[in-house]
Structure 1
Amino acid sequence: MPNPRPVERQLKLVVLGRDGVLNRYRTEHVAQPEEWEPLPGALDAVARLNHAGWHVVVATNQPGLGTGLLDMSGLNAVHLRMNELLARQGGRVDAVFICPHTPEDACDCRKPAPGLLLKISERFNVPPAEMVVAGDTLRDLQAAQAAGCQPHLLRTGRCEGMSDEDFAALAAQVPGTQVHDSLESLAQWLILHDRETRGETTGTSSGFGGLS
Structure 2
Amino acid sequence: MKLVILDRDGVVNEDSDDYIKSLAEWQPIPGSLEAIARLSQAGWRVFLASNQSGIGRGMFNYDALFAIHARLQQIVISLGGHIEGIEFAPEHPDVATEMRKPAPGMLRDIAKRLQMGLEGVPFVGDSVSDLQAARAARASPILVRTGKGRRTETDQEAVGVPVYDDLATFADRLLSA
TM-score normalised by L of structure 1 = 0.79
- Match among 191, 204, 207 for residue 175 of structure 2: 191
> 1:109–1:146: structure 2 CA closer, same or farther, 3 Å change rule?
same
> Helix, strand or coil: the match of 1:130?
coil
Aligned residues: 177
Letter in 1 for 2:23: P
Offset of residue 58 of structure 1: 0.5
Offset of residue 55 of structure 1: 0.7
> Helix, strand or coil: the match of 1:173?
helix
> Helix, strand or coil: the match of 2:38?
helix
- Match among 93, 97, 104 for residue 94 of structure 2: 104
Offset of residue 34 of structure 1: 2.2
Is 2:110 the partner of 1:129? Answer: no
- Match among 45, 53, 71 for residue 61 of structure 2: 71
How many angstroms apart in 2 are the aligned matches of 1:134 and 1:23? 13
- Match among 144, 147, 150 for residue 154 of structure 1: 144
After superposing on structure 2, the runs of 4+ consecutive aligned residues of structure 1 that deviate more than 6 Å are: none
Q: Is the 8 A contact 2:146 2:165 kept in 1?
A: yes
Identity, in percent, stands at 38
Q: Is the 8 A contact 2:4 2:46 kept in 1?
A: yes
> 1:132–1:88: structure 2 CA closer, same or farther, 3 Å change rule?
same
TM-score normalised by L of structure 2 = 0.93
Q: Is the 8 A contact 2:22 2:60 kept in 1?
A: no
After TM superposition, list the pairs within 5 Å mapping 1:55-66 onto structure 2: 55-66=45-56
CA deviations on 1:117-148 (whole Å, 9 max, x unpaired) are 11111112221103210000111000000111
How many angstroms apart in 1 are the aligned matches of 2:110 and 2:59? 26
Is there any run of 5+ residues in structure 2 with no aligned partner, and where? none
Is there any run of 5+ residues in structure 1 with no aligned partner, and where? 1-10, 194-212
Which of the pair has the greater relative contact order for Cα pairs under 8 Å at 6+ separation? 2
CA deviations on 1:167-198 (whole Å, 9 max, x unpaired) are 2x33x5255421111100111111122xxxxx
